[in-house]
Amino acid sequence: MWFERKKEEKKAEKPEEKHGFFDRFFQREKASEKEAETAKITEAAKIAEEAEKAEAAKIAEEAEKAEAARIAEEAEKAEAARIAKEAEKAEAAKIAETIIEPEKKGFWGKTWDVLNRPIFTIDESWLGNLQDRLSKTREEFVQKVRRVVLGHTRVDEDLLQDLEEILLESDVGVSVSEEVIDHLRKKAKAAQLSPEDIPEEMGNYLEGYLGEGTPIRLERGKFNVVMVVGVNGTGKTTTVGKLANRFQAEGFKPLIAAADTFRAAAIEQLEIWGKRADVPVIRHKEGGDSAAVVFDSIKAGQARGADVLLIDTAGRLHNKANLMSELEKIRRIVDREAPDAYHEVLLVLDATTGQNGLKQAEVFKEIVKLTGVVLTKLDGTAKGGVIFSIARDLGIPVKAIGLGEKLEDLKDFNPKLFVKALFGGESEE
């Protein structure tokens, strides 16, 4: 019985034993899965933590770089401002150094200057002088006309042809010559002209091209800017010196800007003229920026109470584009820094170049708005007839003429007196 009972118990225990084994197995599997999941979660948390730390480090690094860049930028700006301030001070000191002051004159020196101020306008009392200065043009132009009409008893085509040749040789120009001859022909056909009347009639007709005298005039109580343009060699720089002397004598306070920085001789020449005329000169080094010279000159003039700024410009006509750019830049500086200034833009032409001077004038007329012409070296040429072409073809008044090397030899142009000096009779010489 006991054996049977044990056997039954053993049988009853076996299924339980089998069930307990699988249960444990699944429990172990479950535990393993839980452990794996826990490990996975732990690993994910660890990765997330490391990523968060890396991101935080990256943000901190970028913030540090941005802050360093900001500090560097502020430091750079501060340094740039300091350098600019020092440069401004240095430039101001340089401007002060570049103003070439004339020697101071005492009481008697000033009194002598007042008593001996030159006269820049010419009238009838100066006629003989003017005839002497125009002697070459008179001889090669007017006296030839006088001689050619002596052999004729009437005005015919042969005489008119001879007269036209004389006009052309005197650089009066093709257009003016043709118009003068047409006028004489009409007068002759109307029986209103004899050969001996031709010099006077020609003079009267030519005077009509010149119009009324339009001298150089500045405005008192304003800042005046006189820009002088022209080809190198025309007497441009000399004219600036003579104008400075003139304005000084007329009671203005002029200043000269040596803006022809491409020609060292021009700067040196201006310094000499400045000393002779007792007028300060603003200059930079050779090859510098001409517009910068003008800028400094305006500032110096305004600071010193000057009322006239004379600008000597470069005359490199062989490079029209560069010249145009340079003159436009100068004009922009003047308009910006002295917007209320009164402007004169004077073209200096050399009378000895004749019709070539007229071609130069046409180029400059395209580049800048000219207000007048200064015709130099009339005392040394037989080509003074070009003045009529200038007046006709350019439509710009001749405002002054150069009749010698002295400071006072730049005179206001008087059309009536000029024609009278040219065509006046022998007794007036």
Q: What is the pLDDT of residue 7?
A: 61
Do residues 344 and 373 make contact, with C-beta atoms less than 8 angstroms apart? Answer: no
Q: Which of 224, 226, 237 is nearest to 315 (CA)?
A: 237
Edge-to-edge order in the sheet of strand 281-282: 281-282, 254-258, 308-312, 224-229, 342-350, 372-376, 398-402, 410-412
Q: Name the nearest CA neighbour of 413 among 116, 136, 130, 208.
A: 130
CA distance 323 to 336: 20
pLDDT (0 to 100) of residue 53 = 85
As a whole number of angstroms, the distance between CA 306 and CA 423 comes to 42
Question: What tens digit of pLDDT does each residue of 17-29 get?
Answer: 444 666 666 677 7
- H-only helix segments in 305-352: 320-337
Whether the pTM exceeds 0.75: the reply is no
Distance CA(222)–CA(367), nearest Å, equals 26
Q: How far is CA 112 from CA 105, 107, 119, 172, 244, in A?
A: 10, 9, 15, 43, 18
Interacting residues of 126 by C-beta distance below 8 A, sequence separation 6+: 417
Closest by CA position to 377, among listed 412, 400, 351, 409: 351
Q: Rounded to whole angstroms, what are the CA distances from 27 to 14, 15, 20, 31? A: 20, 18, 10, 6
Residue 303 vs residues 97, 104, 134, 338: alpha-carbon distances, Å: 15, 19, 43, 13
* Residue 326 CB contacts under 8 Å (≥ 6 apart), including other chains: 290, 291, 313, 314
The CA distance from 118 to 246, in Å, is: 8
What was the pLDDT predicted at 63? Answer: 81
Widest CA span in the chain = 190
CA 312 to chain centre: 10
DSSP symbols for 228-272: EE--TTSSHHHHHHHHHHHHHHTT--EEEEE--TT-HHHHHHHHH
User: What span, in angstroms and rounded, lies between the C-alpha atoms of 14 and 169?
Assistant: 149
Is residue 309 within 8 A of residue 252, CB to CB? The reply is: no
410 HSE (CA, 13 A, CB side)? 25
Tokens representing 40 are 């996975």
Element (H, E) at 169: helix 157-169
Number of neighbouring beta carbons within 10 Å of residue 154 = 10
Q: Which pLDDT belongs to residue 320?
A: 67
Report the C-alpha gap between 399 and 344 in whole angstroms.
11
Q: Encode the chain (429 residues) as per-residue pLDDT tens digits.
A: 655 666 666 655 554 444 466 666 667 777 777 777 787 888 878 888 888 888 888 888 888 888 888 887 887 787 777 776 776 666 555 554 455 555 565 655 655 554 455 567 777 888 888 889 989 988 889 899 999 999 888 999 999 999 999 999 888 989 999 999 999 999 999 888 899 999 999 999 999 999 888 889 899 989 999 999 988 888 888 999 999 999 998 899 999 998 888 776 778 888 888 888 889 999 888 778 888 999 999 999 999 999 999 999 887 665 667 777 888 888 899 999 988 899 999 999 998 888 888 888 888 888 888 999 999 998 888 888 889 999 898 888 999 999 988 888 899 999 999 999 988 755 344
Q: Using one digit for the tens of pLDDT, what is the confidence trace for 280-294? A: 999 888 778 888 999
Burial of 404 (0-12, 13-18, 19+ CB in 10 A): middle
Strand, coil or helix: 117: coil
CB 224 within 8 Å of CB 218: yes
- The pLDDT value given to residue 16: 47
347 membership: H or E segment, kind and range: strand 342-350
